[in-house]
Every structure is written in C-alpha cells, then in structure tokens.
Amino acid sequence: MEVPISRVYQCYLEGPEAPKSGACKAVVKVGGTQPLYDWTEVNQFEANGHHKQIVKNGTLCAGGRDKYVGLDLLRKDWPVSNLRPDANGKFTFKFHAMTPHATKYFNFYITKDGWTPTSQLDWRDLKKFASVAAPTADGNYYNMTVKMPKGMTGRRLIYVVWQRSDSQEAFYSCSDVNVRAPKKASAAESTAAWEDVGRAIAHNDLKSGSTVAFRVFGADGADIERHVIEVTAKTGAATAWPAALAKKVNATSSIFRIGVVGANGEVEPVEAASGNSVFLSDGYPGYSFQIDIDTPGGNQGHAAHAGHGAASTASSPTSQ
C-alpha cells in the first residue's frame, strides 16, 4: 500500500541500511535489512481466503510471517500519514503492485475505537469497511476509491488484504494514519481539489551548495515546470530541505502542492524526511513529478517517490 503508505514500504523508502525513523530502525534491529528489501513479500502462499485462520492475532502486520516480525512492534512512533476523505466521504487508496495479479478482492479494515499502536493488533480490533472485487490495475497501480466509515477519525491503522484469484496467495499491509473529518468543499476550492499522488522522500542530509529541483511533467511526458532551491547549511538536514522545497513549490506552482493536509484543509509542509506527501490538482490528470538533486562535485540523484506513473521512483541512499 502506497497511499496511505504501509509500514514495510515506508521503512524500505527510508533506506534499509540506514532508516531515519525510530520505528524503522527497530524493524531492522529485530529482523535485519532483508525484510525491507523484500517489501513485496508480506504474503501467505496458501491463504485462499482463510486469513483469520492463517494470520494469527498479533502477527497481522507481518502477514503471519516470522520474517516480518518487526512490522508488529508495539510502538507509538510509527510514521503516520494524514488520511482525509473528500466531501463525499470517499478516499482513493493506491496500491503499488510490482507484479499485478488477477485479483479476487481487496478487503479494507480500520482499527476500532480504543486501539493504540502500543496495543497488540488482533482481528477483533478491526472493522471491515470496504471490499473491492476484481479491480483492474493501471500499470503497476491499483487505484481504489472507497467510502470511509463515518465517525472513525483520529489515530488509526488501515489493514488491507489482497487476495489473488489466479492462485491461493494473499498479501497483507498495515498503514498508520491520522483520519481527519471529510473535507467540506467551498466555492473557492471547487475548481482546485488536491489528490495525494506520492511522497517527497529525503534519504540523506545534503551539503551546502546542493540544488534540489522539483520537475513537473505533462500527461505526454513533456517538461512543464521546474522549481529549484539551493541548500544552505541551515536547510541541508534530511528533515529540513524537503520542507524548504515544499515552500517553494507551494508558492509558485498551481499544479502540485507538497506537505500534509492541515486542520484548515490547506496543504502545509512539515519538517520531516518522509512526512511530506505530493498532491496533484484535479485539473491536471496524468501529470507527474520528479525531484532531482545535484550536490557539489557533480553527484546526482533522485529523491522523489512518485505515483501515477511519474517519471521517477525512490532512489537508494547511495544515489545521493
């Protein structure tokens, strides 16, 4: 699950060899780096719909696999995504499938009132709120718009089961979220709705003098915009330069915004290495983005994790 991002994918994007968040560091400490490199493998080969029998209580995020035991650690510091339904109470989930399969269903669950990330996650803690039968993949993505349950806001966990129809195999994911009340559309916002299409990920601190460019591509792949910042000693930390870039983009682009959705409904940057989402205006379907980095000495890299068939994906820490 990419939007809202799952625990295993979040930790993979932070970099298995040197993750940034405390929770992802703990995942590596208890299970090593290989589970993060194998982020596509949180599965059961012979599930065949019998998820509650095969995936035992307390092992849901690991899909019942000892290999992924770190994903079920009881911690309050798991990175959290903001999840805000639209004015109709719907939200579009984006599942990144490296290899799309014939699908029987995706089942969506949310934690009930009273559950906390420091509590063991059991099946009885979950409420099923949606099921999407036989969705069609768009390239390597399943985009599924579903109705969110009313009143279930605040800190939650979204649990998703993907059951294949061409085999007994099933996949499992946990996404830590802060569910906000549905956004109320105003006259001013009616022509500019924003859709979460990916993330701006900082894998490294950057040296002073580095430049970071946010590139915008049209639906046909043509370069449309380029927004550039020069990194200083003050803004070079991995927790700082994404926010600096976001402020530049938000002030100069009508196509994209970077940040999180604040209480006022606006997209606002946060000081975090992996906490800023990238939002696309609904007036520009098919547009994509890429974040390019140039460091003193000519080293280049990418820091974007972009959805919707965007021009780049997350780079490894060594590329910067």
- What the chain holds in terms of domains, given with CATH numbers, is 7-179 (2.70.50.50), 194-319 (3.30.70.2150)
Distances from the Cα of 58 to the Cαs of 67, 72, 123, 292, in angstroms? Answer: 14, 7, 9, 40
Q: Distances from the Cα of 245 to the Cαs of 177, 271, 278, in angstroms?
A: 24, 11, 11
Answer whether 0.75 is exceeded by the pTM. Answer: no
pLDDT of residue 74: 97
10-residue averages of pLDDT along the chain (320 residues)? 92 90 95 96 97 98 98 94 85 89 96 96 98 90 92 95 96 94 57 77 92 89 88 93 93 87 75 89 83 80 45 30
Contacts of 235 (CB under 8 A, 6+ apart): 229, 241, 244
Residue 4 is given by DSSP the state: T
The Cα–Cα gap between 204 and 187 comes to: 41
3-class secondary structure, 267: strand
The whole-angstrom separation of Cα 255 and Cα 268 is 15
- Locate the DSSP E strands across the chain: 43-44, 81-83, 90-96, 103-111, 126-133, 141-147, 154-164, 170-179, 194-200, 211-217, 223-230, 256-261, 267-268, 276-281, 288-294, 300-302, 304-306
Residue pair 289/310 in contact (Cβ under 8 Å)? The answer is: yes
Q: Given this model, what pLDDT does residue 318 score?
A: 30
